[in-house]
């Protein structure tokens, strides 16, 4: 039995009614590590106020400057967080995929959104209202601790991003991106395939590069027989040399 099935089953065992409307929301909620394993009455109260929302690719979910309304959890799809300049240019601040969330800064500071969130492809979100989540945080230390750990992890990643922008070359940033999900202990002569999760132009913007510069770096790495590119799949041909190329 999955954790989602367990969450619903335990509600019945404890005598908590689960309406037809709440059940899919409760199942979606229990599928996120932030809420998995929490007291079922807490999850059920959150589920009663939460809502599943669908967006088509290109739809704006929330805009920079708008007040925050809650936490957005991506149950399916992809979302880009954008910084928008006055001249109409936009910069990809982050890419949010299935299982991740966004909206915390405005939720916890009661400040307007600093970024615009836009669906990249058809996307489904679970929206948990601010008041419900803040109440649950006050009442559930375990949930509060998970939120703190999640925010600390994001600060760590943002600091690493800033460090890379300031101290690393474009080539080093691309290599680090390709190696991000490769296990540290991985080694050997076999090729390792990495699938780019979104379009190359979005990745380039996320790495503070132009699309042309990003493509040129991939071409140079391929010419050096470090990688082989097939559409959205990048095959790492020489892991040791690629890791060495990322060193300052």
| Same-domain status, 41 and 15 | yes
Looking up residue 231, the CATH number of its domain turns out to be 1.10.10.10
Instruction: Give me the domain span that covers residue 92.
Output: 51-166
CA dist 108 and 131 (Å) reads: 10
- Tens of pLDDT, residues 160-215: 888 888 899 999 999 999 998 888 777 766 789 999 989 999 999 999 999 999 99
DSSP assignment string, 50-63: -EEEEE-TT-EEE-
Long-range CB pairs of 23-28 (<8 Å, 24+ gap) are 24/52, 25/50, 25/51, 25/52, 25/126, 28/4, 28/52, 28/73, 28/75, 28/126
- Tens of pLDDT, residues 98-125: 999 999 999 999 999 999 999 999 999 9
For the chain, the domain total comes to 3
Domain end residue (candidates: 9, 28, 49):
49
| Same-domain status, 61 and 38 | no
Domain end residue (candidates: 133, 149, 166):
166
| Same-domain status, 35 and 93 | no
| Same-domain status, 158 and 55 | yes
């Amino acid at each position: 039995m999955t954790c989602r099935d367990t969450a619903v089953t335990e509600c019945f065992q404890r005598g908590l009614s689960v309406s037809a409307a709440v059940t899919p929301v409760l199942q979606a909620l229990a599928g996120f590590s932030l809420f998995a394993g929490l007291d079922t009455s807490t999850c059920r109260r959150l589920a009663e106020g939460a809502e599943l929302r669908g967006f088509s690719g290109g739809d704006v979910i929330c805009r920079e400057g708008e007040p925050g309304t809650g936490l957005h959890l991506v149950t399916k799809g992809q979302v880009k967080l954008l910084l928008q300049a006055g001249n109409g240019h936009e910069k990809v601040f982050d890419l949010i995929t299935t299982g991740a969330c966004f909206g915390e800064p405005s939720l916890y500071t009661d400040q307007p959104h600093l970024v615009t969130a836009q669906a990249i492809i058809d996307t489904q979100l679970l929206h948990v209202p601010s008041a419900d989540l803040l109440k649950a945080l006050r009442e559930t230390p375990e949930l509060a601790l998970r939120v703190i750990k999640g925010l600390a992890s994001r600060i760590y990643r943002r600091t690493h991003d800033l460090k890379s922008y300031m101290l690393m070359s474009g080539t080093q940033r691309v290599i680090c991106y390709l190696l991000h999900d490769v296990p540290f202990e991985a080694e050997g002569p076999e090729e390792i395939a990495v699938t780019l999760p979104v379009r190359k132009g979005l990745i380039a913007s996320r790495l503070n590069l132009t699309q042309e510069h990003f493509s040129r770096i991939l071409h140079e790495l391929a010419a050096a027989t470090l990688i082989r590119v097939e559409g959205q799949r990048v095959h790492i041909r020489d892991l040791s040399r690629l890791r060495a190329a990322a060193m300052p």
